[in-house]
C-alpha cells in the first residue's frame, strides 16, 4: 500500500518549496476515486498515479503537473469528471488531465488511418500545453516498468509503440533520462535473447573498463587541477539499446564499439569548457572526424555539450564529454529542466521551443493521406537535423536529407515559388541536392519562373516545403489540374503493367472518390495533381477492386490449382506474363512483395485462397517455413523471358558512414547503370551511421548483382544487401 507521509516526504526532498497541501488534496482524491481498483499485478491501482507523480517530481515539474499526474486516470476510469477536476483543482489542471485522458485511448499499430488521426489529436493536445506529453511520457515509463503483467501480444504492441513514437518524442524534448529507460525496457521484451546476452557481455567487461576509466579520470584531474577551475568528473555507460542498434545495424562486435563508457567533465562556464578541451587534447591525440561542438551549434532540443574522441596510451579510443552544469541539467531533463512555470523563466522561451510542434500541425492539417502524414512526422519530429547557413551567415535548421528547395521555402514562400536554381558553397547545384551540415546555400530566383511542379513534391523533404508546394498547385487552373491528375494516374498504372482502361472504367473510381470524401472523379483527379492524394493510394484501392473481380472470376479455379499442385510434377507450363505456371490455363499470378522475386531467382508458386498464385523466391522465409498442411499448395513456376515486363521493384539496404554527398553518389551510380530509384528512405544514427532503404527498378538477377557490386564500391559504404 502507498504511504502518504512517505510519498509527501519524497516530494519535499526533491523540492522543499512545493505546495504540499495541494499535492495532499490531489492524493486523497485519487485514493478515494481508485478505491477498490487493482492493477493487473494485483496491487492497489493508486500505486500507478503515485509513481507517475514521483517521476514528474524528479523531472522538476510544477505542482499542477504533479497533481494532474495523480489524477490522470481518474476521469477515464472513475465517475470523477473533468468538470469535477476543474471545480476542485482549477482550469489548468483540468486541461492537463483532459489532454492526457484523450491520449489514454490512443491505439497505434492498427489501421494506418486510425493511427494518423489519433496522432493528430495527440499533437494537438501537446501544442496547447507540452506538459500533456511530459505526463504521458511519465505514464508510459511506469507502465513499461510493470509491463510484465500484460500478455505477450500487449507487451509487444506497447514496446513497439514506445520505440516508434514515445522514445523519439522524449528525444525531441531532450528528456534523455526517460528516453534511455524506455528504449532499454522495450528492447528487453522485444528481443530478450539479445538483451540478456548483451547484459552478460557488458558485465564481463565491466571491471576492465572501470580500471581504464579510473586511470583516465586520474590523469585528467591532475591536469585540470593546474587550471584552478571547479569541475566534476564521472563515467557514463552507454545504454543497452544504443549498443544493440550499433551491433545490429553496423555489424559490430562489442569490442568494436569504443564509446561504451564516456568520461563526462562538468564545469561552471562555457570558457571553462574550451579550456578543458585544450587540456584533454594535449593529453591524448584526438581522432579526426570524431569532434562535435554542440555548444557552438546546439541540437534542436537545445542539447549542448562538447564531444571528442581520443586515443589513450594503449591506442584504444574513448569519448570525453564536456559541458556546464546548466547544459547538464538540460541534457538530462530537456524541456523539463527549464520549464516556463518554474520561477524566473519566461514563457516566451518555451513558446519558441514549441514552434516546431505547431508548425508541423499547421503544415499537415490538410494532408489527406495518412501514410504521408506519418512520414512527415517521422521526418520533421523524429529524424535528425541538418544546419546550413545563408550567405549572410544566419543558421537555418532543416530535417536531415533536405534540399535547396526546402531551404528556399524555409526562408520565404515567395523565394520557394520563384526558385529556379541554387548555389551551395558558391557553386551551382541542382535543387534536389542533399544538404550537409555547415554548407552555405544561396537560392537563385526569377520573376519569370513558372512556379512549382508536382515533381517538386518528390524533391522537397520537409513538411513545410511540401505543404506550400501543394497549396500553390491547388490554386492553379482547375481544368489544367484535372487533366494533369488523370494523366498522372494513367501513366502510373501503365508503369505497374496495368491497363488504365481497366481502372478508370465502371464505377470503381467514383466509389473510391466518395470514400475519400470527393464529390466527383474530377475532384479526385484535381487533388492528385497537386499532391493532395497520393497516386499510389488510388492505385492500391483500384487494384483491390481489380483483384476482387479477378478473384471472383478465378474462384472456380482454386480447386483446379490445388489439384494441379497435388499431382506429380509435370514439365508442362502455361505462360502468364512474367512467369509460366505448371499446367494451368489463364492463371491469376502475382509476384509476392515479401521477397520481390526477380528474373533469374529460383522461384516457386503458392496457391492462395481466392487470389490465384503468388510467386516467391524459393528461399523466402514464408516458403521455407510453410506449414506441413499447406505444402500441397506449392506449384512449380518458371520465368518466361518472352513475357517479361522488363522492370521489377527490388528493395536494398545500404549501411554507410554518413558524409557530404553520400546520397548524391548513390543516385549517380544508379543513373550510370540506368537503374531508376522508385523509393528511398534515409535515417542517420547519432554516431553518424546512415541507413538507406532503396527501392530500385531492376530487370533481373544479373542486373541486381551488378547493382550490389557497384553500390559496395561507393566511398564510406560498409554494407549493401538485398532485402
Report how far apart, in Å, the C-alpha atoms of 715 and of each of 437, 454, 703, 711 are: 19, 33, 21, 9
**What 3-state class would DSSP assign to 367?**
coil
Could you confirm whether 628 is annotated as catalytic? no
Burial class (CB in 10 A: 0-12, 13-18, 19+), 337: buried
> E-strand spans in 390-440?
395-399, 419-424, 427-429
DSSP of 204-221: HHHHHHHHHHHHHHHHHH
Evaluate whether 599 touches 578 at the Cβ level (below 8 Å).
yes
Angle of the 152-161 helix axis to the 131-145 helix axis, nearest 10: 140
Evaluate whether 433 touches 419 at the Cβ level (below 8 Å).
no
* β partners of residue 399: 385
Evaluate whether 275 touches 229 at the Cβ level (below 8 Å).
yes
Task: Report the C-alpha gap between 160 and 180 in whole angstroms.
Answer: 15
Q: What nine digits make up the cell of 201?
A: 557481455
Could you confirm whether 394 is annotated as catalytic? no
Q: What is the DSSP letter of 599?
A: B
Task: Report the C-alpha gap between 58 and 33 in whole angstroms.
Answer: 25
Evaluate whether 668 touches 714 at the Cβ level (below 8 Å).
no
Q: Which of 19, 43, 58, 76 is catalytic?
A: 76
Residues 6+ apart with CB under 8 A from 717: 654, 655, 656, 711
**What 3-state class would DSSP assign to 261?**
strand
DSSP of 34-101: TTT-B-TTSSBTTHHHHHHHHHHHHTT--HHHHHHHHHTTHHHHSS--HHHHHHHH-HHHHHHHHHHH
Burial class (CB in 10 A: 0-12, 13-18, 19+), 556: exposed
Q: What is the H or E stretch that residue 574 is in?
A: strand 573-576
Task: Report the C-alpha gap between 223 and 207 in whole angstroms.
Answer: 25
Angle value at C-alpha 262, between 257 and 266, nearest 5 degrees: 160
Q: Which of 19, 43, 77, 92 is catalytic?
A: 77
Which residues are marked as active site?
A: 76-77
Amino acid at each position: 500500500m502507498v504511504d502518504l507521509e512517505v510519498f509527501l516526504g519524497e516530494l519535499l526532498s526533491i523540492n522543499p518549496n512545493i505546495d504540499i497541501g495541494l499535492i495532499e488534496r490531489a492524493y486523497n482524491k485519487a485514493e478515494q476515486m481508485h478505491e477498490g481498483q487493482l492493477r493487473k499485478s494485483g496491487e492497489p491501482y493508486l500505486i500507478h498515479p503515485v509513481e507517475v507523480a514521483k517521476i514528474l517530481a524528479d523531472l522538476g515539474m510544477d505542482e499542477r503537473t504533479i497533481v494532474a499526474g495523480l489524477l490522470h486516470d481518474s476521469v477515464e476510469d472513475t465517475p470523477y469528471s473533468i468538470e469535477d477536476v476543474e471545480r476542485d483543482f482549477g482550469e489548468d489542471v483540468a486541461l492537463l488531465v483532459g489532454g492526457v485522458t484523450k491520449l489514454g485511448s490512443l491505439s497505434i499499430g492498427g489501421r494506418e488511418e486510425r493511427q494518423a488521426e489519433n496522432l493528430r489529436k495527440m499533437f494537438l493536445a501537446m501544442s496547447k500545453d507540452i506538459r500533456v506529453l511530459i505526463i504521458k511520457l511519465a505514464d508510459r515509463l511506469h507502465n513499461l516498468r510493470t509491463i510484465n503483467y500484460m500478455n505477450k501480444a500487449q507487451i509487444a504492441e506497447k514496446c513497439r509503440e514506445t520505440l516508434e513514437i514515445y522514445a523519439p518524442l522524449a528525444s525531441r524534448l531532450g528528456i534523455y533520462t526517460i528516453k534511455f529507460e524506455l528504449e532499454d525496457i522495450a528492447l528487453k521484451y522485444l528481443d530478450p535473447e539479445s538483451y540478456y546476452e548483451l547484459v552478460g557481455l557488458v558485465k564481463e567487461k565491466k571491471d576492465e573498463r572501470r580500471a581504464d576509466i579510473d586511470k583516465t579520470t586520474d590523469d585528467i584531474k591532475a591536469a585540470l587541477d593546474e587550471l584552478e577551475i571547479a569541475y566534476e568528473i564521472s563515467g557514463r555507460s552507454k545504454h543497452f539499446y544504443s549498443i544493440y542498434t550499433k551491433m545490429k545495424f553496423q555489424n559490430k562486435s562489442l569490442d568494436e564499439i569504443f564509446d561504451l563508457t564516456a568520461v563526462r567533465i562538468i564545469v561552471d562556464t562555457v570558457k571553462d569548457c574550451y579550456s578543458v578541451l585544450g587540456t584533454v587534447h594535449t593529453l591524448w591525440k584526438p581522432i579526426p572526424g570524431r569532434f562535435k561542438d554542440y555548444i557552438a551549434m546546439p541540437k534542436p532540443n537545445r542539447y549542448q555539450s562538447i564531444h571528442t574522441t581520443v586515443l589513450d596510451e594503449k591506442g584504444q579510443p574513448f569519448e570525453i564529454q564536456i559541458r556546464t552544469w546548466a547544459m547538464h541539467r538540460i541534457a538530462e531533463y530537456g524541456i523539463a529542466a527549464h520549464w516556463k512555470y518554474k520561477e524566473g523563466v519566461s514563457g516566451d522561451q518555451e513558446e519558441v521551443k514549441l514552434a516546431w510542434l505547431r508548425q508541423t500541425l499547421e503544415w499537415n492539417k490538410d494532408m489527406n493521406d495518412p501514410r504521408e502524414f506519418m512520414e512527415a512526422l517521422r521526418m520533421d519530429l523524429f529524424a535528425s537535423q541538418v544546419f546550413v547557413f545563408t550567405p549572410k551567415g544566419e543558421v537555418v535548421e532543416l530535417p536531415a536529407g533536405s534540399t535547396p528547395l526546402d531551404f528556399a521555402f524555409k526562408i520565404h514562400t515567395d523565394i520557394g515559388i520563384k526558385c529556379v536554381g541554387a548555389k551551395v558553397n558558391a557553386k551551382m547545384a541542382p535543387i534536389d541536392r542533399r544538404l550537409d551540415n555547415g554548407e552555405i546555400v544561396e537560392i537563385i530566383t526569377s520573376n519569370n519562373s513558372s512556379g512549382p511542379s508536382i515533381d517538386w513534391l518528390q524533391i522537397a523533404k520537409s513538411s513545410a516545403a511540401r505543404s506550400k508546394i501543394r497549396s500553390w498547385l491547388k490554386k492553379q487552373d482547375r481544368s489544367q489540374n484535372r487533366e494533369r491528375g488523370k494523366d498522372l494516374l494513367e501513366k502510373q498504372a501503365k508503369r505497374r503493367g496495368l491497363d488504365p482502361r481497366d481502372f478508370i472504367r465502371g464505377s470503381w473510381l467514383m466509389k473510391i472518390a466518395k470514400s475519400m470524401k470527393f464529390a466527383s472523379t474530377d475532384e479526385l483527379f484535381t487533388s492528385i495533381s497537386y499532391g493532395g492524394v497520393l497516386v499510389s493510394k488510388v492505385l492500391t484501392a483500384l487494384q483491390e477492386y481489380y483483384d476482387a473481380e479477378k478473384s471472383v472470376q478465378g474462384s472456380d479455379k482454386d480447386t483446379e490449382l490445388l489439384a494441379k499442385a497435388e499431382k506429380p510434377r509435370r514439365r508442362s507450363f502455361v505462360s502468364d506474363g512474367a512467369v509460366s505456371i505448371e499446367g494451368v490455363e489463364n492463371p491469376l499470378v502475382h509476384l509476392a512483395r515479401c521477397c520481390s522475386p526477380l528474373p533469374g531467382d529460383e522461384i516457386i508458386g503458392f496457391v492462395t485462397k481466392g487470389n490465384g498464385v503468388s510467386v516467391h523466391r524459393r528461399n523466402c522465409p514464408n516458403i521455407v517455413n510453410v506449414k506441413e498442411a499447406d505444402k500441397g499448395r506449392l506449384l512449380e513456376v518458371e520465368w518466361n523471358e518472352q513475357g517479361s515486363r522488363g522492370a521489377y521493384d527490388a528493395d536494398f539496404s545500404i549501411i554507410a558512414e554518413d558524409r557530404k554527398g553520400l546520397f548524391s553518389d548513390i543516385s549517380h551510380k544508379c543513373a550510370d547503370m540506368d537503374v531508376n530509384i522508385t523509393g528511398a528512405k534515409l535515417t542517420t544514427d547519432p554516431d553518424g551511421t546512415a541507413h538507406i532503404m532503396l527501392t530500385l527498378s531492376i530487370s533481373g538477377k544479373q542486373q541486381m548483382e551488378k547493382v550490389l557490386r557497384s553500390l559496395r564500391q561507393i566511398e564510406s559504404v560498409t554494407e549493401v544487401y538485398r532485402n
